[in-house]
Structure 1
Amino acid sequence: MAFDTWVAADGWALRSFAWPQPGPARGSILFLNGRGDFIEKYLEPLIHWHEQGWTVAGFDWRGQGGSGRLLADPLICHQLDFDPMVQDLAGFVAQWAATTPAPHVIVAHSMGAHLTLRMLARGTHVIDAAILASPMIDIRVMGVPGWALRWLAGLASLAGLAERPVSRKDIGDVGGRMTSCPERRADKAWWKASRPELASGVASWSWVRAARTSIRRLRRRDIAALDIPVLVITSQRDPVVDVRAIARLARTLPEAELMQVPGGGHELLREANARRLPIMARIDAFLDRIGPPLSC
């Protein structure tokens, strides 16, 4: 796995990685992480797919991980607008697809899955299939509907709080919100302690407003025209994203299949093995149909 810098159209430097196969490859996977994530959190699935014969690549989104920050406080996860990230993805995909073997598959988590759909909904892409884990079709906040969340974020921004965090404390994995696996929680903590420049924290009010605006821009009629195989995976009680909105998405996509995992937890690719291994097996079966294993 080789890390590099990929420069976006506006000059923003994004930390990227490429991991080609030493010989023939089944195809190419582009992995896209979620809000506040960084590449190292997902080394387990990346290693797995590489061992299965796929070339693997990815990058940290602008404003997080190794791709620089938008605020002086690096622990506030901030965005003004999601459109630049959609542009980043489209530019990266064009270059990646032109230099890697087909078929080309995106595997994306949460915010990364949302941005993937934004890009695919444009109608011009070179992606052969997509796997969306806990896609951020809408944000779940207990007792607060989506429209009210956008209104609150707009009001906070008008009050001069756009760059302030929405909460004083990052609840993170409290109560197993992200993952029920203590070893993987410890792994994330180790990386953040060892490489503090990769760490992010609570979202700003501006991030919330930008997220809700981007959600509104993802129109159902555009998604309905997406004619590639899509595997959608979600927890039945995901505490971060709206599970009902995800189910509606799966019904809207012409070639989608939906896997609903019992229980909660948002980071399905980092869950305890009792939950994670069946998810990885389902992904493997999906990938086998897209890029069959190479014969010896």
Structure 2
Amino acid sequence: MADAEMETKGRSIPANAVEGFWIATDGWKIRRIDLSPISANGKPAQQPRGAMLFLPGRGDHYEKYLEMLDRYSREGWVVTSIDWRGQGGSGRLLDDAHVGHIDDFSTWINDLKAFWAQWKAATPGPHVVVAHSMGGHLAMRALAEKAIDPVAVALSAPMLGIQTTGLPYFMHHAVARLMRGLGNPERAAWKEGEKPGSPLSVRAKILTHDSRRYADELYWWEARPEVRLGPPSWHWVERAIESTRQLNAPGTLEKITTPILLMATTADRLVDTQRIVRDSKRLPNSELLLFGNEAAHELLREADPVRDMCLDRISRFFEERAPKQ
């Protein structure tokens, strides 16, 4: 794809997209984008392939994934993405709009459960989920808790465990509890970047090798400043670790029979890839696509060789596991 065309796809809302809001059960406004399906000749698809829900990661907003969402709408899918409560265009939960926060991950699960029920009733099947990082974690929890019932799921670098650089999970959790209790639990866990000790200047290297796609996010920070979010609160960190430990409980993943494609990279500096590999063996119906140093955390926004392999694999996976009805 030519550079100019790629920039256009990453920095403009597709013509077949509608932006809006879904109102959660407590009245909170959750931002969404819906893309209508397009056939091979570029016209509206008369018979949609099905419906795909994309769930982004921590600090994400759907503008980062416009290029990918556009691709799947052109494969005939009805495509929807939401911004999680408290990030992107779905408002903030703290007075400090720079800090990411949530009272408990169950709040996001409740939002997803209610949204899924309404979205599924309004869209054609088969219904599938694609999710990245924290979105992948929440999708897995929702499957375990039977809050959603997709035909198949594809997860990019799912946050099944947070990268601890070798520290045991229970110690990692103890440190997070200590730090949350030492001061205001709503304070930022670090100053900037995606992890402690990583300044904004190295953020791109942690996320993707593709400088143009990384710049797409910076473009939207300028065009829509309200979508930008910084580090999480210490309370978020503690709740995130607790949520990953819940998924690690014996028998939890073993009960999930939904076909799941897991994609990960051993070079990931944010999520625990060893945990993803280990959990792939616990899931009764899973496949694993594993990269090395050629891929950073944002597999769906990586350079073309990695990104295209991921997107092609997702398409094939759904052809096999979620055939058109």
TM bucket (normalised to shorter chain) is over 0.9
Following the alignment from structure 2 to structure 1, what is the Cα–Cα distance between the partners of residues 322 and 244?
A: 31
| Aligned counterpart, 2:303 | 272
Matched to 2:318, the amino acid is L
Would the aligned equivalents of 1:103 and 1:290 in 2 still touch at CA under 8 Å? Answer: no
Deviation sequence 1:137-184 (CA, Å, 0-9, x none) = 110033533322221221122122311111123235536111111101
Cα contact 1:52–1:293 (8 A) shared by 2: no
Asked if the contact 2:34/2:80 (under 8 Å) is kept, the reply is yes
Deviation at 1:220, TM superposition (A): 4.1
1:195 aligned to 2:224?
Answer: yes
Is the CA contact (8 Å cut-off) linking 1:179 and 1:270 kept in structure 2? yes
- 1:144 and 1:192 map into 2 onto residues whose CA distance is 34
Cα distance in 2, alignment partners of residues 175 and 56 from structure 1: 27
1:4-15 superposed matches below 5 A: 4-15=20-31
Instruction: Map 1:1-296 onto structure 2 (within 5 A).
Output: 1-21=17-37, 22=44, 23-123=46-146, 125-170=148-193, 171=199, 173-174=202-203, 176-218=205-247, 219-263=249-293, 264-292=295-323
| 1:73-105 Cα distance to aligned partner (Å, 9 max, x none) | 111111221110011111111111111111110
Which blocks of at least 5 consecutive residues in structure 2 are unaligned?
Answer: 1-16, 38-43, 194-198
Shift of 1:120: 0.6
Name the aligned partner's letter for residue 320 of structure 2: R
| Residue 293 of structure 1: how far off its partner (Å) | 6.7
**Equivalent pairs, count:** 294
SS at match of 2:137: helix
| Structure 1: gaps spanning 5 or more residues | none
Taking the aligned partners of 2:221 and 2:275, their CA distance within structure 1 comes to: 32
Distance 2:192 2:36 in 1: 40
Cα distance in 1 between the residues matched to 2:149 and 2:214: 35
